[in-house]
Amino acid sequence: MVQAEQLASIRNRIAAACAKAGRTSDSVQLLAVSKTFPLGDILEFHVCGQTAFGENYLQEALDKITQLADHPNAQQKAPPIEWHFIGPIQSNKTKPIAENFPWVHSVDRLKIAQRLSDQRPAHLPPLNVLVQINTSGEDSKSGIEPEQAHAMCMAISAMKNLTLRGLMTIPSNTDNSEKLKAELLKCKSIFDDLNAQGLSMDTLSMGMSADLELAIECGSTCVRVGSALFGARNHSR
């Protein structure tokens, strides 16, 4: 099966990067970024053992979650699919996100965090959230400025229905490895500083298909891989 080969290839890359960094391979989670790809593709990877999938577009993700309810055999497979929302969040999207996802990687405003907490259904466990840091300084990128991280994370850690799990960053799209490394290490430094100040965070989401090895070298605990698993995307969206 092609999916099994692709999944094995990425897991081998993760394992090799971890070994080079003196880390165990189970210290890094693989998040399969499935945006723009149909549920059928997701289920094929799920059969091969991949459980965590990241989605950027809310309506597309909700459609897949609804379709999944019509595939009870898929959710009976242990462990079931775990959905991560990784896209930008507008205020009018917080309620369905709070109701349907166990993880959110892209919190970049206190208002959004508060709405997610207020709208998290009482029967569900607290929502796992990551604060997105803009380490590149690009205006086109979402995320808070590094100097805002302490106040934001401390406030979120006190919210009743959220569990602050860590940080996420999307560095510059560049071939300059030194610039990329500096941005990744900036996020790792913020992560370490916040933990030293009493926050018990365990997740550092950084690294994608092209730079996952460097991200792991810089301390990533979660790499978000799309094209290297699913193939080229249709960028017409």
pLDDT in tens, 136-145: 988 888 899 9
**Residue 14 — very low, low, confident or very high, per pLDDT cuts 50/70/90?**
very high
Mean pLDDT for the chain? Answer: 94
Q: Exposure pattern of 61-71 as b/e (b: 16+ CB <10 Å)?
A: bbebbeebeee
Give the whole-angstrom CA distance, residue 5 versus residue 11: 10
Each domain of the chain, given as residue ranges in start order, spans 2-230
Rounded mean pLDDT, 201-212: 96
Residues 6+ apart with CB under 8 A from 127: 98, 101, 102, 103, 104, 116, 117, 120, 161, 162, 163
pLDDT in tens, 213-234: 999 999 999 999 999 999 887 6
Q: Is the pLDDT of residue 236 over 50?
A: no
Query: What is the predicted pLDDT for the residue at 141?
Result: 86
**Residue 78 — very low, low, confident or very high, per pLDDT cuts 50/70/90?**
low
Q: Is the pLDDT of residue 235 over 60?
A: no
Centre a 10 Å sphere on the Cβ of residue 125 and count the other Cβ atoms it contains.
9
% of the chain surpassing 70 pLDDT: 95
Q: Is the pLDDT of residue 174 over 50?
A: yes
2-230, CATH topology level: TIM Barrel (3.20.20)
Query: What is the predicted pLDDT for the residue at 237?
Result: 39
pLDDT in tens, 31-75: 999 999 999 999 999 999 999 999 999 999 999 999 998 876 665
Amino acid making up residue 53: F
Rounded mean pLDDT, 104-120: 98
Q: Is the pLDDT of residue 189 over 90?
A: yes
Query: What is the predicted pLDDT for the residue at 85?
Result: 98
Query: What is the predicted pLDDT for the residue at 75?
Result: 58
Model confidence, pTM: 0.94
Rounded mean pLDDT, 107-115: 97
Rounded mean pLDDT, 2-11: 94
